[in-house]
């Protein structure tokens, strides 16, 4: 571990920055700020400074589909939403530099094994792809609709989560070099749980993109019914129904894993891993219900997304410590 200390710090720093990107991205989405910048430049992109520059940027925004919907906006309103999208894009550039510059340094100083070189290269590719996916997502809201495609939003969010998951996995391999064997069944259960959680993240993004967290603000029923007809007719209602159903499945499966696995493990790291997973899922379930009942206010909706991030990271940690080799 001491030998790889600088590489470990680099990888965990990347995880932290991706987390901040997810938080800022959540605020950007919840404040409808994502379409305030209608152009994309890899280099440059200085923010407007003078009143003339702000007016020009605002006039461009007013020609977009979202700008026409928000025709009541004044310049100060535009500045507020512009801030979050600009910060999100600059954080993306910072993240790219944090990954790229140390990677080059570690290559030159031969601090990376061949395996780490391959893994780090994959991370750089995932990061670069994330930037392109982000712009591809934004473009979907600049043509003929005032919102981005919920499919593209889901891809953008999920790839960010996966990039951080892979970064964490690589870092853990340097911090926890060996694992205890004999937990193949638990590992397979956690792997299936991973599929459920990723599906839940995708449908959470669908709900965000379709703004369907503001409908059927009742629980456990959707209005007066368990499964209203709108589930089959309206994409937003259908996404909310599946999101609700997956939440119950995930909670039940976690409780099953906890009940059956804690009888088999006695090492502190495994107990902590499973306990953290259970605690986060319980908290996320309760928070999700309150977020729905209150009509998805920004603070609760953002916290719900943050907990989803920690849920996935805790699951990655559990998968790592229960893997066979």
What is the three-state SS of 146-178?
Answer: CCCCHHHHHHHHHHHHHHHHHHHHHHHHHHCCC
Q: Across 48-62, 169-183, 300-314, which has the greatest mean pLDDT?
A: 300-314
71-85, 161-175, 257-271, 302-316 — which is least confidently predicted? 257-271
CA dihedral (201, 204, 210, 212) in degrees, to 10, reads 170
Distance from C-alpha of 217 to C-alpha of 85, rounded to nearest angstrom: 29
pLDDT band at 241 (very low <50, low <70, confident <90, very high): very high
Strands (E), the chain: none
Q: Are 249 and 203 in contact (CB under 8 A)?
A: no
Facing residues of 222 across strands? Answer: 225
Among all chains, which residue has been given the structure tokens 């530099």?
Answer: 97
> Does the pLDDT at position 42 exceed 70?
no
Residue 23's pLDDT is what? 93
Q: Token digits for 129?
A: 């792809």
> What's the average model confidence in pLDDT over 165-182?
85
pLDDT of the residue at 44: 60
Compute the distance between CA of residue 128 and CA of residue 151 in angstroms, rounded to an integer: 19
pLDDT digits (tens, 9 = 90+) for 256-301: 999 888 878 878 888 999 999 999 999 999 999 999 999 989 999 9
Q: pLDDT at residue 93 above 80?
A: yes
pLDDT at 132: 87
The confidence score (pLDDT) of residue 268 equals 87
100-109 confidence digits (pLDDT tens): 999 999 999 9
The two tokens of residue 146 are 């005032």
SS (H, E, C) 292-316: HHCCCCHHHHHHHHHHHHHHHHHHH
- Of 181, 163, 115, nearest to 19 (Cα)? 163
Q: Which two tokens stand for residue 5?
A: 């200390």
DSSP state of 47: P
What span, in angstroms and rounded, lies between the C-alpha atoms of 320 and 212?
35
pTM score, whole prediction: 0.91
Closest CA to 216 of 149, 291, 274: 291
User: How long a stretch of residues is the chain?
Assistant: 325
Looking at residues 199-208, what average pLDDT do you find? 94
The rounded distance, in Å, linking the Cα atoms of 245 and 240 is 9
DSSP state of 71: T
Name, in order, each residue with C-beta under 8 angstroms of 60's C-beta and a sequence gap of 6 or more. Answer: 38
- Does position 180 have pLDDT exceeding 80, yes or no? no
Asked if residues 200 and 158 have their Cβ atoms less than 8 Å apart, the reply is no
3 alpha-carbon distance from chain centroid: 31
Angle between helices 298-322 and 150-175 (to 10 degrees): 40
Q: Which two tokens stand for residue 148?
A: 């981005």
pLDDT score of 146? 78
pLDDT band at 1 (very low <50, low <70, confident <90, very high): low
Residue that wins the pLDDT comparison between 182 and 54 = 54
Residue 4 has pLDDT above 90, yes or no: no
Closest residue by Cα to residue 205 from 30, 18, 14:
30
The answer to whether the CB of 157 falls within 8 A of the CB of 25 is yes
Instruction: State percent of the chain over pLDDT 90.
Output: 54
57-85 per-position pLDDT tens digit: 889 888 888 888 888 999 999 999 999 98
């Amino acid at each position: 571990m001491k030998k790889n200390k600088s590489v470990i710090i680099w990888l965990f720093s990347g995880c932290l920055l991706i987390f901040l990107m997810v938080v800022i991205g959540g605020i950007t989405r919840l404040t409808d700020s994502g379409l305030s910048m209608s152009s994309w430049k890899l280099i440059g992109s200085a923010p407007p400074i003078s009143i003339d520059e702000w007016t020009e940027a605002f006039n461009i925004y007013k020609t977009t589909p979202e700008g026409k919907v928000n025709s009541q906006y004044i310049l100060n309103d535009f500045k507020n939403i512009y801030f979050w999208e600009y910060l999100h894009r600059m954080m993306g550039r910072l993240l790219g530099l944090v990954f790229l510059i140390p990677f080059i340094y570690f290559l030159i100083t031969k601090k990376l094994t061949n395996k780490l070189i391959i893994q780090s290269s994959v991370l750089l590719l995932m990061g670069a792809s994330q930037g392109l996916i982000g712009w591809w997502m934004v473009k979907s809201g600049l043509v003929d609709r005032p919102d981005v495609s919920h499919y593209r939003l889901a891809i953008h969010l999920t790839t960010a989560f996966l990039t951080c998951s892979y970064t964490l996995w690589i870092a853990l391999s340097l911090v926890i070099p060996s694992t205890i064997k004999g937990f193949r069944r638990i590992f397979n259960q956690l792997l299936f749980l991973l599929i459920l959680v990723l599906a839940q993240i995708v449908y959470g993004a669908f709900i965000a993109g379709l703004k369907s967290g503001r409908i059927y603000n009742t629980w456990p029923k959707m209005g007066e019914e368990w499964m209203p007809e709108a589930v089959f007719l309206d994409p937003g209602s259908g996404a909310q129904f599946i999101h609700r159903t997956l939440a119950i499945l995930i909670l039940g499966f976690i409780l099953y894993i906890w009940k059956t696995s804690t009888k088999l493990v006695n090492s502190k790291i495994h107990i902590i891993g499973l306990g953290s997973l259970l605690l986060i899922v319980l908290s996320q379930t309760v928070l999700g219900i309150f977020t729905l009942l209150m009509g998805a206010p920004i603070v609760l909706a953002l916290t719900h997304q943050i907990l989803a991030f920690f849920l996935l990271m805790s699951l990655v940690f559990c998968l790592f410590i229960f893997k066979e080799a």
